[in-house]
Structure 1
């Protein structure tokens, strides 16, 4: 098997309209045309990959706790500038947890969507001040 890229990540959400506000309006992810499935959802472009949201209130993947814990399942998005990402998220009123000196080697910023799905934004720790 030869892997070329990650195509998409699918997340269960409680309320697709609330999730669309978070991902489309607050995070400003570009929304993609989605096939006319028989269930609510939304698709977004995230770099070279896609994020697929599926409204499913009974999904086993939904977390009941609304506390940001970086050890919980999450997906990560590489960003160009750590500090600008912190400013952007805080400017949108999104609660974040910062881990600029994580043992992972990534400077990490964690946040949560309205359905308690965790998202990590990161840069290589050597790029903490962003790319010049």
Structure 2
């Protein structure tokens, strides 16, 4: 079981606001580390940690984590939310898995995959 993901970003506040809006994550308790950051919660669990990073282009060709996937519900609602916010995305349907996917990038270019399974219609990140 994956516990959390830590994302480095040159735009700490923008990335926090983006993930709060897109995934309904909420900032919560974070230990008093000697550097800034946020722990973003889905319910009672801190699933995304944000810490400062240098501004540099995202290059997925090298040895790195390519993207982070989130299981969500309400595909049409989420797609409408992206449209209303003017957030570009691409789609992928995998009927053999009974899944639909939306791909979006954070303001600094981190790729997020939003995965929706048929039959799951309520809840969030």
TM-score bin (small chain): 0.7 to 0.9
C-alpha spacing 1:114/1:103, structure 2 compared with 1 (3 Å): farther
**How many residues are paired up?**
117
In 2: Cα distance, 1:14 partner to 1:102 partner: 37
TM-score by length of 2: 0.76
Task: Report what 2:37 is aligned to.
Answer: 41
Any residues of structure 2 matched to 1:75-86 within 5 Å, and which? 75-86=68-79
Task: Report what 1:12 is aligned to.
Answer: 8
Gaps of 5+ in 2: none
Gaps of 5+ in 1: 66-71
TM-score by length of 1: 0.73
Task: Report what 1:69 is aligned to.
Answer: none
Aligned residues: CA RMSD: 2.7
Task: Report what 2:51 is aligned to.
Answer: 54
Any residues of structure 2 matched to 1:102-121 within 5 Å, and which? 106-121=99-114
